[in-house]
Amino acid sequence: MAGRRNSRSRGERAEEAGGAPRPPADPEAAAREVCLRLLTLSPRTRSQLAEALARKGIPEEVADHVLGRFTEVGLIDDEAFAQAWVRSRHTGKGLAPRALSAELRRRGVADETIKEAVSELHPEDLEEAARTLVSRKLRTTRSLDPDRRTRRLVGMLARKGYSPGLAYRVVKEALAGEGADPDGLPEDGFFDG
């Protein structure tokens, strides 16, 4: 095995050793290759690609040029990325606008683009998604007392970005539909704060 070559580049080895990666001989070609490789794996935001290029030691002006060209030809489109992200994560995970906004912000999407993407979610869709999430979780909380059960279900919705008012109302309705005494549940203000 001594004759095997290390598959990592010299820049990657230097970076792992604590030094800055060496800029490639042809930074523009290297930047295009990095972007194409990453975009082949999954859609990325301009910010995510800029971070990847910086990690590879691509000079900022070269990165800006390549990212600008990729944006011009439609290979990078933060608006389309945000819209697809919102649809996918809302449908698949039941996430609400607050959680979706936080995820998109972490990926470097601009606030205005985030607002546009999450505005496509309608209140009735959010309510339906919240009901679906609660009905799935309801079975696993049957052994708990009503207060604890309510806190768990409302907390689950809160972590997914639902407002306290909507979360509490959906949970209260679901528990009442199961035969729980709605008067025995905590008041709405219990979860505010």
pLDDT in tens, 103-127: 999 999 999 999 999 999 999 999 9
User: What's the pLDDT score for residue 25?
Assistant: 80
Q: Judge whether 181 lies within some domain.
A: yes
Q: How far apart are CA 103 and CA 89, in angstroms?
A: 10
Q: What is the mean pLDDT of the chain?
A: 86
Q: Is the pLDDT of residue 45 over 70?
A: yes
Q: Judge whether 112 lies within some domain.
A: yes
Residues 141 and 184 in one domain: yes
Provide the whole-model pTM: 0.75
Bin 57: left if φ > 0, else alpha if -120 < ψ < 50, else beta.
Answer: left
3-state secondary structure of 160: coil
Q: Judge whether 184 lies within some domain.
A: yes
Mean pLDDT across 158-186: 83
Residues 113 and 152 in one domain: no
Q: Judge whether 53 lies within some domain.
A: yes
**Number of structural domains the chain divides into:** 3
Mean pLDDT across 152-177: 94
Q: Judge whether 12 lies within some domain.
A: no
The pair of structure tokens assigned to 78 is 């933060």
Domain range enclosing 184 = 123-191
Q: 25 versus 163: which is more confidently predicted? A: 163
Q: 154 versus 20: which is more confidently predicted? A: 154
- Give 9-42 pLDDT, tens digit per residue: 544 544 555 556 676 788 999 999 999 999 999 9
Q: How far apart are CA 101 and CA 123, in angstroms?
A: 16
Asked if 154 and 191 touch (Cβ cutoff 8 Å), the reply is yes
At residue 162, φ and ψ (nearest 5 deg) are: -80, 150
Q: Write down the H helix ranges in 8-144.
A: 10-16, 27-41, 46-55, 60-72, 78-93, 97-106, 111-118, 123-138
Other residues' Cβ atoms within 10 Å of the Cβ of residue 19: 10
User: What's the pLDDT score for residue 178?
Assistant: 81
Q: Judge whether 16 lies within some domain.
A: no
Asked if 138 and 161 touch (Cβ cutoff 8 Å), the reply is no
User: What's the pLDDT score for residue 19?
Assistant: 58
